[in-house]
Amino acid sequence: MNYPDHEWSLIIFNILGDLSVGVFVALGIVHFYAARKTDAKQASQLSTRALLVLGPILVLGMLAVLGHVGNPERMFNMLSNLDTSWLAREVAFYGAFLVVGGVFAVLQAITLLSPAQQERLPEGFRKALPTLRPILAWVAALLGLAFVFSAAMIYYDPRLAARQTGWAHLYTPILFFADTGMLGALALGVGFVGNYLWLQRKQKEPGAKETLSIQEGLLRDAIQGASFVSIALIGVLFVTIPIYLVSLGAENNNLNEAILDMLHTDFAMLWFLRLFLAFTGAGILSAFAWYLAVRPQRRQRLFYLMIVGAFVCVLASEVIARYLFYGRNAVLLIGGM
Amino acid sequence: MAQYGFYVDLNACIGCKACQMACKDRAGNEPGINWRRVIEVGGGEWRQSGTSWTPDIFAYFLPTACHHCSNPPCLPVCPTAAISKDDNGIVKINVEQCIGCHYCEWACLWGAPQFYEDRGIVDKCDFCKDIVDAGGSPACVEACPMRAMEWGDIEELRASHPGATFAVVPLADPQDFGPNSTYTAHVASTDRVGEILNQEEI
């Protein structure tokens, strides 16, 4: 039995990719909500900086995945078989998400410029922005979700089912989408807290007080949503995991036996940590964050700490989950014995 | 159009691994990379009769390589379209196109595609395509001192060896991939199931 230590590049790529898509989609929902509740300017104050952080994260993910392939300089060859290869589709959707999302982020960043600076832009371009932005946002979100789906299908692919019994289960797509949702929601929560603290430091500017109180309201609403999403998704995962394990045990073959054996021998501690951290982060800490978010005058610091703690626990749990995920492939068997 | 394949009589194979070495020699493969592998399978137990114990054991050898499947799982999953199947059914990897993503390795049930750390690509048995196209025989078949191996149109091989099968221990159930290798099972394996004895080596 081998440990999947050579798969760190894939683990990092998948987590950063899923996190970015999750944040992008969650940002879209929050932005839409904030624009309806307050106005476009306030919504932009809340979400644009978080959006700009995604670019470097996605580029980092791309660099990480190059560590997995033997000939990174030929990476564009990976787009040659979109017809039948989920891996080719994953790469294509990731690239497209990065490009379209990037263009959208640049257009969105214009809202952070001062009115005088915005005046200098060509008039036609300025007029087109309100139409262009939502279209790009929708396209980028769909491309991102298509990336997560393709990434899950790489492992869920029935053509791999004979060999990769640990992957060819509905647990795989559920794990990928739950990751996207939980990491996205909680990372966005952390981003919003950071954004709010940054706005707080600029309190001396005229009109800042009013902005700050509106932003605090939005922040609390957003955290309520993020906590709710992560609690709901950890519920889904905790229902799926036992079903997955039972179905591995029910189908009696050597591969499944080897996988189950790994989970209660070599990987037992990691498996426990994965479940413990997921429950603590997405369950307990998220519930506390939600509780503090609905009671505005309660302890600010503790409130921020809960969200950051929940994110850190879920991130650590997901890293372990992906490590175990590739561990299930490390049972190299020739001829099924 | 033919579909080439291999036939091996497991009763004739003595496990000398000349096929494995001839393959390595022809392909120029370093230690650790084996396009053809010889699996040692064995089993049995001690039996008591009266006051004495006697070993009742068996062993046989099973040469295996890429089975050039009719419906190869490695081919459609490759993101670079580097894997192709030619007119003779030979499944080949274009190493100039391959980026070494390992995906074909994950898909193959029999461990045929293998990663080259130094070159950053995956490659596997190509049925000695250059030799076969020039009218010769694959290196492994040529090298067998027991004449246990044959190659050719798989349908003809199956027809000329009635009872030949792919269902030999320890080869995995081929699902619907259609592997084009066939074996005359070893007599010892008809009623007993052995296990792989040289896991470290293969």
Domain of B68, CATH number, reads 3.30.70.20
Using a CB–CB cut-off of 8 Å, the residues of B that contact A are 37, 39, 64, 73, 76-82, 97-103, 106-111, 115-117, 119-122, 169-173, 175, 177, 195-196, 202
- Amino acid in the structure at residue A79: L
Give the model's pLDDT for residue A1: 46
Give the model's pLDDT for residue A35: 81
Compute the average pLDDT of residues A231-257.
Answer: 88
- Model pLDDT for residues A110-123, shown as the tens digit of each residue: 887 878 888 888 88
In terms of Cα–Cα distance, which of A218, A172, A246, A242 is closest to A18?
A172
Using a CB–CB cut-off of 8 Å, the residues of A that contact B are 68-72, 74-75, 77-81, 84-88, 91, 154, 157, 159-160, 162-164, 329, 332-337
In terms of Cα–Cα distance, which of A193, A237, A235, A234 is closest to A215?
A193
Give the model's pLDDT for residue A287: 93
A–B: how many Cβ contacts below 8 A?
118
Chain-chain contact of A87 with B170 (C-beta, under 8 angstroms): no
Q: Which residues of chain B lie closer than 8 angstroms to A86, CB-CB?
A: 77
Compute the average pLDDT of residues A9-31.
Answer: 92
Give the model's pLDDT for residue B34: 93
The H or E element that residue A212 is part of is: helix A208-250
Residue A105: pLDDT above 60? Answer: yes
Residue A98: pLDDT above 80? Answer: yes
Going by their DSSP bridges, the two strands B181-184 and B4-9 should be labelled as parallel
Instruction: Lowest mean pLDDT of A46-50, A216-220, B61-65, B142-146, name the range.
Output: A46-50
In terms of Cα–Cα distance, which of B105, B147, B131 is closest to B18?
B147
Residue A302: pLDDT above 60? Answer: yes
Q: How far is CA B157 from CA A213, B7, B142, B150, B171, in A?
A: 82, 7, 16, 8, 19
* Rounded-to-integer distance, Cα B178 and Cα A230, Å: 45
Compute the average pLDDT of residues A77-86.
Answer: 94
Give the model's pLDDT for residue A335: 47
Mean pLDDT, chain A, whole residue set: 87
Q: Is B90 part of any domain?
A: no
Compute the average pLDDT of residues B127-150.
Answer: 96
* Rounded-to-integer distance, Cα B169 and Cα B196, Å: 9
SS3 B5: strand
Return the ∠ at Cα A20 (arms to A121 and A195), rounded to 5°. Answer: 65
pLDDT class of A2 with cuts at 50, 70, 90: low
Give the best residue of B10, B67, B103, B108 to mutate against chain A (max A CB count within 10 A). Answer: B103
* Rounded-to-integer distance, Cα A215 and Cα A209, Å: 10
Chain-chain contact of B101 with A81 (C-beta, under 8 angstroms): no
Q: Find, in chain A, the residue whose alpha carbon is nearest to that of B107.
A: A160
Q: Is B52 part of any domain?
A: yes
- Model pLDDT for residues A164-206, shown as the tens digit of each residue: 778 888 899 999 999 999 999 999 999 889 888 888 887 766 6
User: What is the b/e burial string over A242-280, where b = at least 16 CB atoms within 10 angstroms of the residue's CB?
Assistant: eebbeebeeeeeebbebbeebbeeebeebbebbbebbbb
Chain-chain contact of B99 with A337 (C-beta, under 8 angstroms): no
CA dihedral A19, A25, A27, A33 (to 10 degrees): -150
Q: Is B85 part of any domain?
A: no
ipTM: 0.86
In terms of Cα–Cα distance, which of A229, A237, A234 is closest to A325?
A237
Kindly state the percentage of chain B with pLDDT values over 90.
79
Structural domain containing residue B168: 4-72+126-188
Give the model's pLDDT for residue A336: 45
SS3 A18: helix
In terms of Cα–Cα distance, which of A5, A319, A44 is closest to A183?
A319
Q: Which residue has the tokens 């990336």?
A: A147
Q: Is B47 part of any domain?
A: yes
Q: Which residues of chain A lie closer than 8 angstroms to B168, CB-CB?
A: none
Q: Which residue has the tokens 């992957």?
A: A167
- Model pLDDT for residues A24-51, shown as the tens digit of each residue: 999 888 888 888 887 777 777 777 888 8
Helices A171-201/A300-327 angle, 10° precision: 150
Of B170, B175, B195, the CB nearest to A162: B175
Q: Is B119 part of any domain?
A: no
Chain-chain contact of A74 with B101 (C-beta, under 8 angstroms): no
Q: Is B97 part of any domain?
A: no
Q: In terms of C-beta density within 10 A (0-12 exposed, 13-18 middle, 19 or more buried), how is residue A208 classed?
A: middle
Query: How many helical (H) and strand (E) elements, i.e. helices and strands, does chain B have?
Result: 6, 10
Q: Looking at A67-122, list the stretches that DSSP marks H as alpha helix, in order from N- to C-terminal side.
A: 86-109, 115-119
Chain-chain contact of B103 with A87 (C-beta, under 8 angstroms): yes
Give the model's pLDDT for residue A96: 96
Q: Is B87 part of any domain?
A: no
Residue B76: pLDDT above 80? Answer: yes
Residue B138: pLDDT above 90? Answer: yes
Q: Is B153 part of any domain?
A: yes
- A143, two tokens: 């491309």
- Model pLDDT for residues A127-156, shown as the tens digit of each residue: 888 888 889 999 999 999 999 999 999 999
Kindly state the percentage of chain A with pLDDT values over 90.
45
Domain count, chain B: 1
Compute the average pLDDT of residues B145-158.
Answer: 96
Helices A300-327/A268-278 angle, 10° precision: 150
**DSSP 8-state class, residue A2:** -
* Rounded-to-integer distance, Cα A201 and Cα A117, Å: 23
Compute the average pLDDT of residues A92-103.
Answer: 94
Compute the average pLDDT of residues B167-180.
Answer: 87
Compute the average pLDDT of residues B108-122.
Answer: 92
Higher pLDDT, B174 or B54: B54
Chain-chain contact of B99 with A72 (C-beta, under 8 angstroms): yes
pLDDT class of A330 with cuts at 50, 70, 90: low
